[in-house]
């Protein structure tokens, strides 16, 4: 299931990050800011436990998050969203998945994976600015499950119906959170209107 984060502040920042004239420095800043907003909503139902905190006046009954949060960026563009989550949840642990698309089979191939043991029993958040065809996202979910993860969600900035449909067909229990659900993919498998190549725009590697 995909959930659109339609908050006015998110949509305002989305308008700026989409703009082709937005440079890589501002693009990175906006990716961090938008990610923080999306994750704020995505984590609203994580389990909590009651704790007693002594204030200067009296004891207060409070709540703290009662699950390990594990953030898993898909290399390389997903790293551009990492700071946003870590600002929101500084104690989160981080795993990594590196994938590339085989030019012959057009299927994602894993070249790197590293997960903390807390993915078992914790809450795992896969991050990638663009959920386009969905192939890389499904491959990342597969890897997490193979390593013992059970509670997984996906946070992206922009997605499209094709990517959502693939994830839902393979992993229907995984929730997707996005700032935009765009129209479709073009012949080059870019989201339309999308952001362009998010990795290039994050790191200034485009022409």
- Pick the catalytic residue from 76, 93, 120, 200: 200
197 catalytic per annotation: yes
| DSSP assignment of 5-55 | ---HHHHHHHHHHH-TT--HHHHHHHHHHHHHHHHHHHTTTS-EEEEEEE-
* CA 5 to mean position of chain CA atoms: 13
101 catalytic per annotation: yes
Interaxial angle between packed helices 161-170 and 135-146, expressed in degrees from 0 to 180 and rounded to the nearest 10 = 30
Q: Which two tokens stand for residue 197?
A: 């190549």
- Pick the catalytic residue from 76, 93, 101, 120: 101
Give the SS3 label for residue 96: strand
Enumerate the H helices of the chain as residue ranges: 8-18, 24-42, 82-88, 135-146, 161-170, 198-203
- Pick the catalytic residue from 55, 104, 105, 187: 105
Q: What CA–CA distance (Å, rounded) separates 30 from 194?
A: 15
182 catalytic per annotation: no
Q: What CA–CA distance (Å, rounded) separates 56 from 131?
A: 47
What are the residue numbers of the active site? 101, 105, 197, 200
């Amino acid at each position: 299931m995909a959930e659109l984060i339609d908050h006015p502040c998110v949509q305002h920042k989305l308008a700026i990050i989409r703009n082709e004239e937005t440079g890589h420095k501002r693009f990175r800043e906006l990716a961090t800011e938008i990610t923080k907003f999306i994750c704020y909503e995505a984590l609203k139902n994580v389990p909590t436990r009651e704790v007693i905190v002594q204030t200067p006046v009296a004891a207060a009954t409070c709540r703290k998050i009662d699950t390990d949060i594990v953030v898993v960026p898909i290399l390389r563009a997903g790293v551009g969203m990492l700071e946003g989550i870590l600002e929101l949840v500084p104690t989160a642990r981080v795993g990594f998945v590196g994938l590339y698309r085989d030019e012959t089979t057009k299927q994602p191939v894993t070249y790197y994976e590293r997960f903390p043991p807390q993915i078992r029993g914790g809450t795992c958040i896969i991050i990638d600015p663009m959920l386009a065809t969905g192939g890389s996202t499904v491959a990342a979910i597969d890897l997490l499950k193979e390593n013992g993860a059970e509670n997984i969600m996906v946070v992206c900035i922009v997605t499209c119906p094709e990517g959502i449909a693939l994830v839902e067909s393979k992993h229907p229990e995984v929730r997707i959170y996005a700032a935009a659900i765009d129209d479709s993919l073009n012949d080059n498998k870019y989201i339309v209107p999308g952001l362009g190549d998010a990795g290039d725009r994050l790191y200034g590697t485009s022409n």
